[in-house]
Homo-oligomer: A and B are copies of this chain.
Amino acid sequence: MMLGLHDLSVARGGRPVLSGLSLALAPGQALILRGPNGVGKTTLLRTIAGLQPPFAGQVDCAPETVAYAAHSDGLKPTLTVAENLRFWAAIFGTRDINPALAAYDLAPLAERPAGMLSAGQKRRLGLARLMVTNRPLWALDEPTVSLDTTAVAQFATVLRDHLGQGGAALIATHIDLGITADTLDLGPYRAAPDRGDAFDDAFEDWA
Contacts and interface: CB of A to CB of B under 8 A. Distances in A.
Interface of A: 13, 35-38, 42, 71, 116-121, 123-124, 142, 145-151, 174-175
User: What DSSP secondary structure best describes chain A's contact surface?
Assistant: loop
A151 to B, nearest CB: 6
Contact of A147 (B35, B149, B174): B174
Nearest to A17: B118
17 contacts: A13-B116, A35-B148, A36-B150, A37-B118, A37-B124, A37-B146, A37-B147, A37-B151, A38-B117, A38-B120, A42-B118, A42-B119, A71-B119, A142-B146, A145-B145, A145-B146, A146-B174
Q: Which of A37, A38, A142, A146 has the most CB of B within 10 A?
A: A37
A114 to B, nearest CB: 13
A169 B117 CA distance: 26
A70 to B, nearest CB: 10
Nearest to A122: B37
A161 to B, nearest CB: 21
Contact of A37 (B36, B38, B121): B121
